[in-house]
Structure 1
């Protein structure tokens, strides 16, 4: 099955939207206290990507060997995730490790698409603000 995956994060919240065939699932979360107002918006976006994928797998929306088109509205994340370059931020590198681990364990076929911020459904649908 093919999924479109949108994600968003800021200093207080994360959200994601998974579109699959005719269904759309939206989720919003406040950061847990250890992260709330202590991480950058960039770090939060990596958390949203990681937790959103993990959640999608956990509720059986995303299954082994599915195709996921990850819609990324941040050029820095897009370039980092589509290359072998390392981030200087240890927090981001740990999230990247866990994201790649999920992708590899579940044999997901992943494509990253760079989109405009105005097209990010997870940012538009973020109700935690």
Structure 2
């Protein structure tokens, strides 16, 4: 099955939206205490990418071998993930490792797409 995955994050909250032919699910979470107001916006976006994909796998929305189009509104994230380049931020590198592990374990087919922040439908869930 093909999924389109949007996500976003800020210093207080993360959000994600997964769409496919059967569902359109929007989720958000407050940051855990050890991240709340301590991570950068970019770090928060990596948390949202990791947690949301993990949640989708655990909820049997994304299954082994599925195609996931990951919509990125950050050029630096797009460059990092699509070109498999290293980041100088150890927090981001650790999250990237977890994301790659999920992708490999579940044999997901990933396509990264760069979008504008205005196209990111997960952003609206960041507002309380």
Q: Which TM class, normalised by the smaller chain length?
A: over 0.9
Residue 22 (structure 1) shift: 3.7
Match for residue 21 of structure 1? Answer: 21
1:28 aligned counterpart, secondary structure:
strand
With structure 2 as the length reference, what TM-score do the two structures score?
Answer: 0.97
Match for residue 45 of structure 1? Answer: 45
With structure 1 as the length reference, what TM-score do the two structures score?
Answer: 0.97
Gaps of 5+ in 2: none
Match for residue 100 of structure 2? Answer: 100
**Contact between 2:10 and 2:126, CA under 8 Å: does it hold in 1?**
no
Q: Deviations over 1:15-36 (max 9, x none)?
A: 0000010420010100010000
Instruction: Count how many residue pairs are aligned between Structure 1 and Structure 2.
Output: 128
Q: Please, what is the CA RMSD of the aligned residues?
A: 0.9
1:34-113 aligned at under 5 Å gives the runs 34-113=34-113
Gaps of 5+ in 1: none
Match for residue 115 of structure 1? Answer: 115
Q: Deviations over 1:59-110 (max 9, x none)?
A: 0000000000000000000000011310000000000000000000000000
